[in-house]
Amino acid sequence: MVSNRLDKVHKKITKKKGKNPNLHEGSRDTQRLQTASARDDRLNRLTRARARQNHPYLLRIKSFQSYTTEHDSPLSVSEIQAVIEDYLGRDDEELAKLKADRRPGRPPATRQALLEQNQATEQNEYASGFWVPDLEDESNLRKLKEWNGQWANLATLKFARISKEGFKRESSFPPKGMS
């Protein structure tokens, strides 16, 4: 991560004091360096947390991007539902293997519990409206194919919520609740 503020403060202090400044513990310059360092640490921590929070959505959009490589024309809602159901079943083999490897009477492994929880969450989302790129729009489909994998570049795409019953609603970016 970039420590922009700390670099600026350090540069000002070295201009004022010289190459190797001797700063005592309670000096103003030391306090400025500590404040800038704490700010940079906080910003880096928040950036990592935001990236960790957005990671599942990035993986989802990347998988839908890979599904659309063979399609040149927009998809219908039923075709989008088939793609969603394929996406929802992506961990079924690993989950079945974990269940088969577990000895009878033993609690499920952490990975198995995590996969089951993730599948339940995604199934509930699908029942109320699964957040996906709008694949019915031809220009949006083209933009999705050209997307470079960056979170910031997703703002140009249109998104929709597709429910299990086949209803489609426009959605916003970034996903917030049931928008």
Shared-domain flag, residues 39 and 75: no
Amino acid at 105: G
Asked whether residue 110 is domain-assigned, the answer is: yes
Asked whether residue 22 is domain-assigned, the answer is: yes
Tell me what pLDDT residue 48 has.
94
Q: Rounded to whole angstroms, how far apart are CA atoms 54 and 117?
A: 18
Tell me what pLDDT residue 121 has.
92
Q: Rounded to whole angstroms, how far apart are CA atoms 126 and 164?
A: 6
Tell me what pLDDT residue 3 has.
64
Shared-domain flag, residues 88 and 162: yes
What are the backbone dihedrals phi and psi of residue 89, each rounded to the nearest 5 degrees, phi first? -95, 15
What are the backbone dihedrals phi and psi of residue 18, each rounded to the nearest 5 degrees, phi first? 105, -175
Tell me what pLDDT residue 46 has.
94
Beta strands in 20-133 (DSSP E): 130-133
Q: Rounded to whole angstroms, how far apart are CA atoms 72 and 70?
A: 7
Asked whether residue 114 is domain-assigned, the answer is: yes
Tell me what pLDDT residue 149 has.
87
The number of distinct structural domains making up the chain is: 2
Tell me what pLDDT residue 173 has.
80
Contact criterion met (CB below 8 Å) for 64 and 131: no
pLDDT in tens, the chain (179 residues): 556 777 888 778 877 777 767 777 888 888 888 888 899 999 999 999 999 998 989 999 999 998 888 877 888 889 999 999 999 999 999 999 999 998 888 998 899 999 999 999 999 999 988 999 998 888 999 999 998 888 888 888 999 999 999 888 888 887 776 55
Tell me what pLDDT residue 179 has.
56
Tell me what pLDDT residue 20 has.
66
Q: Rounded to whole angstroms, how far apart are CA atoms 159 and 161?
A: 7
Shared-domain flag, residues 86 and 40: no
Shared-domain flag, residues 51 and 75: no
Q: Among 163, 148, 140, 138, which Cα is nearest to 80's?
A: 163
Tell me what pLDDT residue 178 has.
59
Residue 26 structural domain: 1-55
